[in-house]
A and B are shown apart, each in its own frame.
Chain A
Amino acid sequence: NAGVTQTPKFQVLKTGQSMTLQCAQDMNHNSMYWYRQDPGMGLRLIYYSASEGTTDKGEVPNGYNVSRLNKREFSLRLESAAPSQTSVYFCASSEDGITQETQYFGPGTRLLVL
């Protein structure tokens, strides 16, 4: 079991460039999440997907789009990167999305926007 995997591990972009962060899980989980981690702020939810075919905005969705390609994969796209999007991005998954359930996190993608 690989758990939650993310690619790439590290990326440098110029302002205005686009890119897609990939996430996949092999635990047959229904719910998947994208968070960003900024210094001194903990993690904040960008988007989530409760099940295949559905996506919803989180706390900080502006400048991002997502696609739940199938049950395993949930991608995050930056259409026109800005320096404010420099951050570490974590994908997570959970079985059903209920309150007491554990979320499992990937290793993260470190993004630098110049």
Chain B
Amino acid sequence: GDSVTQMEGPVTLSEEAFLTINCTYTATGYPSLFWYVQYPGEGLQLLLKATKADDKGSNKGFEATYRKETTSFHLEKGSVQVSDSAVYFCALRSSSARQLTFGSGTQLTVLP
């Protein structure tokens, strides 16, 4: 079945540091890939997505590239801010499934 493996946290960085959160997946066919962010006390919000191989999703300085050859969708940001502190979820949806399949989430804390 479909699965998502995500870098375990928690991750603690200083402001302006470079961020990478690794995500790899197993799925049939050609899934769509997503990064969702959950700020404290809130629901999940879509951060970015990519729907086919080599697509790059980007939003708010975050980027992720759909790499079919390595089945990966790593999240990166060049310079994190304190306001980026949140839990980040990698997810996929294959054409055969109704639901999103989520990774376990990575807690990011950015210190001033």
Contacts and interface: CB of A to CB of B under 8 A. Distances in A.
B91 to A, nearest CB: 8
B99 A99 contact: no
B4 A42 contact: yes
B104 A41 contact: yes
A90 interface: yes
Nearest to A43: B102
Interface residues on B, range: 20 to 34
Given A99-B32, A100-B49, A108 B98 contact: no
Nearest to A31: B98
Interface string B1-43: 0001010000000000000000000000001101010000111
A16 interface: no
Interface in A1-56: 4, 31, 33, 35, 40-45, 48, 50, 56
Interface residues of A, number: 27
B4, B34, B94, B102 interface centre (most CB from chain A within 10 Å)? B102
A99 B29 CA distance: 11
B101 to A, nearest CB: 8
B45 interface: yes
A43 B49 contact: no
A42 B99 CA distance: 13
B43 A43 contact: no
Interface of B: 4, 6, 31-32, 34, 36, 41-46, 49, 51, 89, 91, 93-95, 98-100, 102-105
Interface of A: 4, 31, 33, 35, 40-45, 48, 50, 56, 58-59, 90, 92, 97, 99-100, 102-108
